[in-house]
Amino acid sequence: MVSADPQIWIQALLTIAATSFVFRDNIVFKVAQYTFIGVAAGHYIVMGVKNIINYGWVHLAGGAYIYVVVFILGIMLYARFSKEYYWLYRYPIAFMVGNGIGISIRAAIHSDFIKNIAATASPLVATAPMDTINNIIIFVGCITALSHFIFTYEGIHKGTLGFVPKVGRWMMLMAFGASFGNTVMTRFGMYQGRILFLLRDWLQVV
Amino acid sequence: MAILTPGRLTPLVAFVLAWFATYYAIQLGKQGKIRIRRLPGLDAIEEVVGRAVEMGRPIFDIIGQGSFTDGYATQTIAGLSILSYVATLCARLGAKLYAPQADTGVMPVAIELVRDAYRGEGKLEELDVEEQLPYLSSEQFAWAGGIIGMAARLRPAANIMIGPFWAESMMFAETFDRIGAMQVGGTARMYQIPFFAALCDYVLIGEEMFAAGAYVSGDPQQIGSIASQDWYKIAALILSIVGALLATAGVTVISDLLLM
Amino acid sequence: MSIWEKLTAIPREIVIGLVIISMIIPTLNPLGLPIMTGQMAKDWYNYVEDVPEGSVVLFDIGYGSGGYPSLGPATIAVFHQFFDNNLKVIIMATAIEGSMMYPLIMDVVQPETKYGAVYGEDYVFLGYIAGVQTAMAGVLGDLPAIVTADYLGTPIGQIDILEGISGAEDMDLVAYMTTAGGTSEGWVYQAYSAYGKELLGGFLSMMTTSMKPYYDTGQLLGIIDGIKGAADMEYLTGNPGDAIQSSDVLSFSQTLVLIFIIIGNISYWGSRASRKEEI
Amino acid sequence: MDYKRDIPLAITFLIGIIAVSDYYTTFESVKATFTIIKNWGVVLAAFSLGLGAVNLFRVHGRRISKRASDWYLSAWLLVMMVLFVAVGLGTGQFETSSQYTWVYGALFLPLGATMYSSLAFYMAYGSYKVLRARNLDAFLLFITAVFVILGNTPIFPANVPGFFYIREWIFTTIVGGAYRGIRIGVGIGAVVIGIKTLIGMETGYLGRR
């Protein structure tokens, strides 16, 4: 039996409306799209207010008066919509950018750069012959792919060494193929959730 | 009490050296002492523009929907450098360029660059900004839908999309293929590179787009930062190769040193 | 028009229609094919099995409605294992829709009735915390300094499980599920690199390739590879659910995609060859 | 000194340096300062969540007042936004009230779940139209893509387990190697761009006005 729950009906109709874009752009899709943008922005405001209260106001009300500064900075963010006071927006954004960059690059050099080099600088020969072959493929893949991204030393891309970055490009293309294959799975796995909803919760045939 | 957090000596040294390297490389770039190799991707762009001229059909150049204030600003800037290059080629060879826009902050810069390019070739009167660089929407799917509609109507001979791209990359690649356009793609957003690699005729992989952008713009800052990254990559190559050989021989000095 | 040319240009409506049918059939008639579990999910499962009872886990819900079909089932399976092994679970959300995912997950897991777990003693949900990496660093660095209440507004002083938790040093394991690249790298930076925490990560399959270097270098101890990883976890923990059912759908729809890829290639080469003959 | 430009650049530098020092050094004063910065960062991030809504109000308000094409859709968008805010803030329980859970479940959940997943159909059609072994580059990508899809499709490994092991092997060796090289490059790229931003050479985030 088809569901009698109005919430399920709205969900089902919006699911179909949002899918209709794959055939062509149409008015039903546009309604779904504008609804999505509107509700997302509304949800952001609700969560934003809750966070401001829980992580800011509580401290301020608890006697940490220094938090007045954060509230002023927060309000200054909205100066970006003013032609005259636009520059005020730069103070809070400078704070956020400084924090955001500092917090990520301090670790990136360790996690992305050094750990990966250290892993590559490990023994190639293992006890099992298959492991040795795998180690060599990983080593070659890493070295050649990295060499592909050297731009200011032309010698690496020409002459006898020229095949090294070329192998790197091939290795990367094969890796991208794997990524492509996995993405097919991601998208189908995602849409399958909608099919399951339509058949199980809405039409109730499963 | 130790001043340094244990186990972080090597990262700290690498980090501090990166400051000096970046600063020094930019100085070298300003003095014109660094040369970037010309990437095959740029030849591919020239080829598709030439093909469009032969066929008498227009060219699309999409720079993505990034802005100057988000985390992908460097990609947008690289995309703009390429746009300027494409506009110069189009003006010189006589192909009609379309570059639909998605960000109100980036759009005036894009218009200025394209105007300069046409002016430089003495073809300013051939450019109609309103028609050729229209603002479509800042919303992802509205923007993508707009471009798909334009592509179906104008049937371009080629599509160049270099910049930050999200889920819309798949839609574009498929649409432009359907109308028979050749495609050159490039992005440094790792999750989208595989689509461009699979679906475009030529792809600029990751940082190649920064190098291509720096090459065509000649901006010493961009060139300098590419050089400093190159020094680190070369160091990484040497450490990896020597380290692997030594470790295979039983000497693990390099990985020990790195994990200090 | 030659047969080759026709095969290279099957209309999109037909392709899409067939794909939809290929997803509906197995949903109506599940096959129940066996699951072969991948090493990355096995590593996750085995690691959690070896964690002593009563250990504290920090778990992040880093996805919203878009990621729920893949990562929801994965989270449910993972929570079954956590509660089955009597771990203490501190849940937070770095995704803005995360706090809407929490009730969906807990409706299925039902820790109270199935495992006798008690909210506030065995698990707690802190709600959505803005700022992504800043939120991670805040919770790991000094939890009581940043979090004042759980998602319902109960002050943390009244929540037993959070007593004596001052940050990363009091947590034994960090795990997350996310659809965002910045979040998945962020946990590696903030939990592994900054605090040396044992870390498990789950994300969409399309992200697995670029996150894999972290697994290879021991920064991630286990990976849940989207819907495939979710099915593996459902199988390993013995709680079959939506992900295993999805496997059947994948069997049908991906086989169809493979057929189309083959048709596309054969017709491409066929039409090239026939064009040569004409010349 | 230009307070519209130099002070923001100084703020970025200072906050960035404290974040980096917190990671590399053991000074208690740095750690305490950085804890405050993190708390403030969360509050500022929360404040920034409303920026998109204000922008939508400006853009769509203008479209409604100008009666631009599709202006009624713009009005609908704003109605939806106001509805969520009213339900979320009106109850005083934010996202935890049953009313909010209902509107979220009815409107946001299906749209959020469908918008991106419907790309599956573009994937399917795109794979058919474009994933073709036309040259060596495309062939290499094509061949691993096919083997990974074979391994990912349970019906094949269920009959021929080898397909599953081939997929695992591709991930272990080819993906592991090539993506490690890419990671090293991406990592150092992020560090260099970050440093340029901290020392005020990359100023895009300040805007152009």
C-alpha to C-alpha distance for D4 and A89, rounded to whole angstroms = 10
The pLDDT tens digits for A61-101 are: 999 999 999 999 999 999 989 989 999 999 999 999 999 99
Q: Per the CB < 8 Å rule, is B68 touching D193?
A: no
Other Cβ atoms less than 10 A from the Cβ of B87: the count is 27
Which chain A residues contact residue B226 at CB under 8 A?
A: 151-152
Task: Tell me the C-alpha distance between D108 and D80, whole Å.
Answer: 10
Classify residue D135: in a domain, yes or no.
yes
Asked if the model's pLDDT at residue B227 lies above 70, the reply is yes
DSSP classification of residue B102: -
In order, the DSSP letters of D76-90 are HHHHHHHHHHHHHHH
pLDDT at C7 over 90: no
List of chains touching D (3+ CB pairs within 8 A)? A, B, C
CB-based contact B237 A147, cutoff 8 Å: yes
C-alpha radius of gyration, chain B, whole number: 21
Yes or no, beta carbons of B236 and D195 under 8 Å apart: no
Closest chain A residue to the Cα of D128, Cα to Cα: A184
Give the C-alpha separation, D19 to A152, whole Å.
32
| CB atoms D192 and B1 under 8 Å | no
On average, the pLDDT of chain B sits at 92
pLDDT of C1 strictly over 90:
no
Whether residue D42 is contained in a domain is answered as yes
The Cα of C191 is separated from the nearest Cα of chain B by a number of Å equal to: 15
B190 neighbourhood in chain C, CB within 8 Å: 181, 210
Interface touch B248/A125, C-beta < 8 Å = yes
Q: How far apart are CA A99 and CA D20, in angstroms?
A: 9
Residues of A in contact with D105 (CB under 8 A): 7, 11
Q: Which of B7, B178, B190 sits opposite C210 (nearest CB)?
A: B190
D148 CB within 8 Å of a chain B CB:
no
A68, burial (CB in 10 Å: exposed 0-12, middle 13-18, buried 19+): exposed
Closest chain C C-alpha to D109 CA, distance in angstroms: 5
| Domain contains D55 | no
Supply the DSSP symbol for C56.
Answer: E
Per-residue confidence (pLDDT) for residue B1, from 0 to 100: 55
* Interface contact C7, partner D, CB < 8 A: no
Q: Residues B236-252: what's their mean pLDDT?
A: 96
Chain C: closest CA distance from residue D62 (Å): 28
Residue C274: the pLDDT is 81
Among C182, A174, D11, A64, CA closest to B191: C182
Q: Which of B71, B178, B191 sits opposite C206 (nearest CB)?
A: B191
**Stretch among A43-47, C4-8, C183-187 having the lowest mean pLDDT:** C4-8
By the 8 A CB rule, do C191 and C45 touch?
no
pTM of the model: 0.95
Tens of pLDDT, residues B129-146: 999 999 988 778 889 989
Q: Minimal Cα distance from D124: which residue of C?
A: C257
Q: What is the pLDDT of residues D116-169, one digit of tens each?
A: 888 899 889 888 887 888 889 899 999 999 999 999 999 999 999 999 999 999
Q: Among C154, D18, B205, which residue's Cα sits nearest to residue A148?
A: B205
Minimum Cα–Cα distance from A22: chain B residue: B171
Whose structure tokens read 């730069």?
A90
User: Residue A173: enclosing H or E segment and its boundaries?
Assistant: helix A163-196
CB spacing of B255 vs A152 below 8 angstroms: no
Nearest CB to B191 within list C12, C196, C207:
C207
C276 burial class (0-12, 13-18, 19+ CB within 10 angstroms)? exposed
Which chain C residues touch D111 with a CB distance below 8 Å? 65
Let me know if residue D141 belongs to a domain: yes
| Rounded CA Rg of chain C | 23
Are D109 and D152 contained in the same domain? no
- Among chain B residues, CA nearest to D182: B206
Does the beta-carbon distance from D205 to B69 stay under 8 Å?
Answer: yes
Contact state of A141 with D186 under an 8 Å Cβ cutoff: no
Give the end of a domain, one of D62, D92, D117: D117
Residues above pLDDT 90, as percent of chain D: 79
pLDDT of residue A99: 96
Higher-pLDDT residue of C32 and A12 is A12
**A137 lies within 8 A of chain C by CB:** no
Which portions of chain D are predicted below pLDDT 50? none
Chain A positions touching B28 (Cβ under 8 A) are none
Q: Are C179 and C64 in contact (CB under 8 A)?
A: yes
Q: Where does the pLDDT of residue B50 fall: very low under 50, low under 70, confident under 90, or very high at 90 and above?
A: very high
C266 touches chain D (CB under 8 A): no
Q: What are the extents of the domains in chain C?
A: 3-30+248-278, 39-240
- Strand order across the beta sheet in which B158-162 lies: B97-98, B59-62, B158-162, B182-187, B202-205
Residue C12 has pLDDT above 90, yes or no: no
- For D:21-80, CB contacts with B below 8 A are 23-27, 59
Alpha-carbon gap, residue C131 to B14, rounded angstroms: 27
Give burial (CB, 10 Å; 0-12/13-18/19+) of A163: exposed
ipTM of this predicted complex? Answer: 0.94
- Check whether residue D132 and residue D190 sit in a common domain: yes
Question: Who among A22, A119, A196 is closest to C27 (CB)?
Answer: A196
Quote the CA–CA distance of C273 and C277 in Å, as a whole number: 6
Closest-CA distance, C209 to chain B, in angstroms, reads 9
Confirm whether D203 is domain-assigned: no
Chain A residues near residue B244 by CB distance under 8 angstroms = 120-124, 139
- Please give the Cα distance from B208 to B162 (Å, whole number): 11
Q: Contact C148/A58 with Cβ under 8 angstroms?
A: yes
D58 within a domain of the structure (yes/no): no
* Domain enclosing residue D124, as ranges: 119-196
Q: Kindly list the structural domains of chain B, giving each domain's residue range(s) and its CATH number in brackets, ordered by start.
A: 9-33+223-258 (no CATH), 40-217 (3.40.50)
| Contact by Cβ (8 Å): B194, B169 | no
- Domain identity same for D39 and D105: no
D-chain residues near B19 (CB < 8 A): 195, 199
Contacts of C279 (CB under 8 A, 6+ apart): none
For B166-203, the pLDDT digits (tens) are 888 888 988 898 888 999 999 999 888 988 888 888 99
Residues of C in contact with A116 (CB under 8 A): 213, 217
**Spatial distance between the Cα atoms of C226 and C242, rounded to a whole number of angstroms:** 13
Q: What average pLDDT score do residues C90-118 get?
A: 97
For chain D, how many structural domains are there in total?
3
The string of pLDDT tens digits covering residues B72-113 is 888 999 999 999 999 999 999 999 999 999 988 899 999 999
Inter-chain residue contact C227 with A43, CB threshold 8 Å: no
Assess if residue D145 is contained within a domain.
Answer: yes
The hierarchical CATH code for the domain C39-240 is 3.40.50
CB pairs under 8 A between A and B: 121
- Closest residue to B10, CB basis, from A114, A153, A173: A114
Is the minimum CB–CB distance between C170 and chain D shorter than 8 Å?
Answer: no
Give me the residue from B11, B167, B233 closest to D188, CB to CB.
Answer: B233
Contacts of A165 (CB under 8 A, 6+ apart): A144, A147, A148, A150, A156, A157
CA distance C57 to chain A (A): 22
- Record: contact A182-C192, CB cut-off 8 A: no
C156, C149 in Cβ contact below 8 A?
A: yes
Q: What are phi and psi of C88, to 5 degrees?
A: -95, 125
Note whether D188 and B232 are within 8 A (CB).
yes
Chains that touch A (3 or more CB pairs under 8 A): B, C, D
Residue C196: its chain B contacts at CB < 8 A? 7
Strand, helix or coil for residue B142: helix
**Cβ-based contacts of C38 with chain D (< 8 Å):** 168
Which of chain A's residues have a Cβ under 8 Å away from the Cβ of C70?
A: 186, 189-190, 193
Rounded to a whole number of angstroms, the distance between the first and last alpha carbons of chain A is: 10
Same domain, yes or no, for D128 and D156?
A: yes
Contacts of D123 in chain C (CB under 8 A): 257
Chosen for mutation from B190, B195, B196, B258 (greatest number of chain C CBs closer than 10 Å) is B190
Note the maximum CA span of chain D.
73
Alpha carbon distance A190, A199 (integer Å): 15
Contact B198 D182 (CB under 8 A): no
C196 in contact with D at a CB cutoff of 8 Å? no
